[in-house]
């Protein structure tokens, strides 16, 4: 099947992109790498009257790092991160995640901004950005705002983005102390979205710890009891009970397979982190 007809605007600046979205009263959509949107157009699951292409905006490709934060532009691709073309002050965490997303073609075109804007519950970046406490920078004709990724993602394919807003980038806090991390992802076949994905991080001597899980509900989530166990250096068996508490709160309908699946990805990520 081919897409329904739509108008197309190639934006030359962020200001032009957001102004076009604000002025156009029809059903306008932004396109970045097109890796999710183009199939949705062809399947007619998305029926925009207007596509605003932000894919050539160099201002959305910029990255910078200060002592406090890494700023990644929304158009940074998974391949940019996998190839080390942007800094990874998190000891290789970003590179590992990027290299595990789908196939190289998807990674070549797919962007971090598109991944978070889409808010697929099984996508990789939202889980990592949650664990790292990142915030999204968002532009509109009225100015810009910043919102934690945790608050930005509202549910399955649902975010706080208004129709005239675009994500311009992400601010990811850089840990002051030594950071350790672990990840685990289960996929049903190579290149597929995760059936379960867990990311855990800790800094210093129990100063900070976070655990995040994806594909376990309508949106990725933080696991507060597990994080508390990581901070207090709970032994593996105690931690497993804490993971069980967090999973109970997720209401997996008592499904023993899902409970076991998510428990193993979280515990594997913890093991990887503790071995670092």
Ligand X SMILES: Cc1cc2nc3c(=O)[nH]c(=O)nc-3n(C[C@H](O)[C@H](O)[C@H](O)COP(=O)(O)OP(=O)(O)OC[C@H]3O[C@@H](n4cnc5c(N)ncnc54)[C@H](O)[C@@H]3O)c2cc1C
Q: How far is the CB of 180 from ligand X (least distance, A)?
A: 23
Measured distance CA(155)–CA(171) in Å, rounded? 21
| DSSP letters spanning 37-90 | HHHHHHTTS---SEEEE-TT-GGGT-EEE-SSEEEEETT-BHHHHHTT-S--TT
Contact 131, 211 (CB under 8 A): yes
Closest CB to ligand X among 117 and 209? Answer: 117
Segment contacting ligand X (CB under 6 A): 64-72, 81-89, 160-168, 172-180? 160-168
Segment contacting ligand X (CB under 6 A): 34-42, 144-152, 244-252, 257-265? 34-42
Residue 247 within binding range of ligand X, rule CB under 6 A? no
Residue 162 within binding range of ligand X, rule CB under 6 A? no
What is the per-residue binding string for ligand X in 42-81, x denoting contact by CB under 6 A? ------------x-------------------x---x---
Residue 106 within binding range of ligand X, rule CB under 6 A? yes
Measured distance CA(60)–CA(78) in Å, rounded? 14
Residue with tokens 């905006």: 57
Closest CB to ligand X among 106 and 234? Answer: 106
Q: Spell out a b/e string for 159-181, using b for 16 or more CB atoms within 10 Å of the CB, else e.
A: bebeebbbbbbbbbeebeeebbb
Residue 9 within binding range of ligand X, rule CB under 6 A? no
- Other C-beta atoms closer than 10 Å to the C-beta of 106 total 16
Residue 222 within binding range of ligand X, rule CB under 6 A? no
Binding stretches for ligand X (CB under 6 A) = 29-37, 54, 74, 78, 101-102, 106, 109-111, 113-115, 117-118, 123-125, 161, 166-167, 191, 193
């Amino acid at each position: 099947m081919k897409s329904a007809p739509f108008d197309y605007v190639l934006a030359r600046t962020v200001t032009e992109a957001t102004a076009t979205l604000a002025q156009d009263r029809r059903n306008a959509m932004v396109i970045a790498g097109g890796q999710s949107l183009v199939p949705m157009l062809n399947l007619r699951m998305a029926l925009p009257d207007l596509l605003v292409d932000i894919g050539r905006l160099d201002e959305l490709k910029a990255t910078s790092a200060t002592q406090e934060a890494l700023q990644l532009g929304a158009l940074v691709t998974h391949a940019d991160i996998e190839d080390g073309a942007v800094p990874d002050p998190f000891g290789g965490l970003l590179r590992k995640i990027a290299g595990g997303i789908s196939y190289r073609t998807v990674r070549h075109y797919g962007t971090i901004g598109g991944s978070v804007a889409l808010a697929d519950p099984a996508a990789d970046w939202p889980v990592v950005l949650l664990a790292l406490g990142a915030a999204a920078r968002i532009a509109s004709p009225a100015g810009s705002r910043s919102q934690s990724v945790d608050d930005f993602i509202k549910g399955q394919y649902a975010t706080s983005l208004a129709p005239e807003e675009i994500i311009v980038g992400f601010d990811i806090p850089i840990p002051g102390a030594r950071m350790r991390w672990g990840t685990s992802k289960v996929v049903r076949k190579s290149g597929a979205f995760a059936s379960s994905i867990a990311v855990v991080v800790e800094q210093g001597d129990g100063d900070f710890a976070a655990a995040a899980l994806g594909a376990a509900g309508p949106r990725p989530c933080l696991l507060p009891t597990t994080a508390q166990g990581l901070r207090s250096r709970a032994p593996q068996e105690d931690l497993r009970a804490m993971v069980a508490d967090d999973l109970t709160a997720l209401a997996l309908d008592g499904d023993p397979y899902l409970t076991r699946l998510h428990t193993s990805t979280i515990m594997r990520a913890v093991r990887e982190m503790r071995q670092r």
